[in-house]
Amino acid sequence: MKKFLTTLIALLLTSSLYAGDKTQQAKLASDMRTMLESVVNIQRAGFYNNKEGIKTAAQELIDSLDSLITTDASMYLPENKSNAGKFAKKREKMIRMYAEDLIAAIDAGDIDESLEDYNQIIKQCTSCHSRIRQRMWK
């Protein structure tokens, strides 16, 4: 009976740790979809010269970036990609900076600067994804 209880407790603890990792991954995946939607909405609003739409989408992008900082990438990435978490954190800072600059450029009516900021946001996203998913690009 004692062995059964010990085994049951160990199983429950293991499954709760596994579920915690999956919850973290699910939140990151959800936030990534939000980030993608925000970037698409920035572009869509730009095509229609909708300045408020651009600012709203840029703010949504900023609001969804926290998962890149709070998620421990080493828990779900392969061994050779475990340092990608540091890279993702750096990309988060850069995306945040460019998104905030994009909002400021829109407020100032500087279209050229806002286009450059949008371009830099896309570069940051692509840089991280191409590094983490390098095998998929080959």
- Domain borders along the chain are 28-137
Q: Write down the pTM of the prediction.
A: 0.76
The pLDDT tens digits along the chain (138 residues) read 666 556 546 555 554 444 445 677 788 788 889 999 999 999 999 999 999 999 999 999 999 998 777 776 666 566 666 566 777 788 899 999 999 999 999 999 999 999 999 999 999 998 887 777 665 444
What are the C-alpha distances in Å from 119 to residues 14, 38, 39, 43, 98? 44, 14, 10, 10, 9
Helix 51-63 to helix 2-47 angle (10° resolution) is 160
Q: Which CATH number fits domain 28-137: 1.20.120, 1.10.540, 2.40.300, 1.10.1200?
A: 1.20.120
Distance from C-alpha of 28 to C-alpha of 74, rounded to nearest angstrom: 13
- The residue to which tokens 């062995």 are assigned: 3
Q: Is-contact 39 121, C-beta < 8 A?
A: yes
